[in-house]
Chain A
Amino acid sequence: MTSVYVTVGSTGFDELVRAVSTKAFLLALSQRGFTQLTVQYGSSTDAFRPPPSAKDQHGIRIDSFDYTDRPLQYIEQAGLVICHAGTGSILETLHSQRPAIVVVNGRLMDNHQREIAEELAGREFVVCAEPEELVQCIEEEKYRELKTYPRADPQPIGEILDEEML
């Protein structure tokens, strides 16, 4: 539980990937007791430039890859998940009961991703942040006081289908 998993989902998110490869971010992680950073950077390959020297990595081990078919295996091992505001990533993180910092991609058109991130943050299920606020988020450890998200129950959908078939 001393690892952080960063995920941008099926596209890319340069600002987020850049923010988690800075010295300041790695320093904040190590000060809060994290030892491992795993980054799924999607198409933001060029934005992922962690500092090359071990000194600047502040003792954080860094792994990275573009995509994975099995995001859950990384989410479940993480003590903190930092994800883009896509529904898939948010739901996987909430149901794995991992603390999440959700970062909204301000470049997306018709930004309803901000709606869901802010709604969930308002109910204290996640922390919502801009890329440039991540260092501060880690330092303040607000993600430690989040509420547990209720278990999903898709049963009513089955019942509605059955009612319509009568």
Chain B
Amino acid sequence: MFYLITISLIALLSARLYWEPSTGGNKVLCVVLGSGGHTAEMVRLMHGIDFERYTKRLYIVSESDALSANQIAEIERPLMSDYSQEYVVGRVPRSRQVGQSLVSALISAVRCLAATAWLLQSHLPDIVLCNGPGNCVIVCVLVMVLRVLGVKRIPIVHVESFARVRSLSLSGKIAYYLADRFIVQWSGLQQKYPRAEYIPNLV
């Protein structure tokens, strides 16, 4: 396990060596996809994004999630143009399974961490968009590691799920402290979490 953590760290650090700032409009957008409902919302959110600016998209998807793979094609088809056809689907092992023992949960979390670190260092996104699946906590933490190590400052935009009316999800509670912009879709949440921005009818 320590071996895997060390590899992730080396991977993240090595990214520093060959990173060059992306110029002009060519930005890499990292989108974290999870299961069912989160993905359905993300598909809708993506319609607000200009793909001619974010010319490359990196989708981080859980290996166990077959639906998301189809939905990525669905997101991409209507939005891509001649200039913005590049997208990458990075699959990572599931971070947490229902009914897993603590030890095996820890091992899967580390495997997920290593795979996510590898993806982030290979594609070095300019910005991360996530909306609450378990994976996004791991992505946010790694983005913070990159920031602390001085490799690259990648802003995180978190949109809490439409399904969350009165309380944040567990990943939302963590992302609240890590994200640069934290958006909620119901006004009651903004009263509880003052740093959150309230924007209704996004999805």
Contact = CB atoms under 8 A, between A and B. Distances in A.
Contacts of A54: none
Contacts of B123: none
A42 to B, nearest CB: 11
Given A91-B44, A154-B203, A165 B127 contact: yes
Interface stretch (A23-31, A55-63, A75-83, A109-117): A109-117
Interface stretch (B1-9, B107-115, B178-186): B178-186
B167 interface: yes
A159 to B, nearest CB: 8
Interface range on chain B (Cβ under 8 Å from partner):
35 or more
Interface of A is mostly: helix
A165 B153 CA distance: 10
A115 B157 contact: no
A92 B74 CA distance: 15
A162 B127 CA distance: 10
Contacts of A115: 163-167
A113 B11 CA distance: 39
Interface string A109-142: 0001101100100000000000000000000000
A87 B40 contact: yes
A161 B127 contact: yes
Contact of A152 (B49, B157, B183, B202): B202
B127 A157 contact: no
A162 B27 CA distance: 10
A86 B29 contact: no
A154 B45 contact: yes
Interface in B147-203: 155, 157, 159, 161-167, 169, 180-181, 183, 186, 197, 199, 201-203
A116 B188 CA distance: 12
B36 A9 contact: yes
A10 B53 CA distance: 34
B27 A165 contact: yes
A164 B181 contact: yes
B10 interface: no
Given A160-B157, A161-B127, A164-B127, A87 B162 contact: yes
B186 A153 contact: no
Interface in A81-98: 86-88, 91-92
B13 interface: no
B63 interface: no
A153 B129 contact: no
Contacts of B162: 87, 91, 116
Contacts of A152: 44, 201-203
A156 B155 contact: no
A28 B201 CA distance: 34
B163 A116 contact: yes
A86 B197 CA distance: 24
26 contacts: A9-B36, A10-B35, A10-B67, A69-B70, A87-B36, A87-B163, A88-B37, A112-B163, A112-B164, A112-B169, A115-B164, A119-B186, A152-B44, A152-B201, A153-B48, A153-B201, A154-B44, A157-B48, A157-B129, A157-B157, A158-B48, A160-B183, A162-B53, A165-B53, A165-B126, A165-B155
Interface of A: 9-10, 69, 86-88, 91-92, 112-113, 115-116, 119, 150-162, 164-165
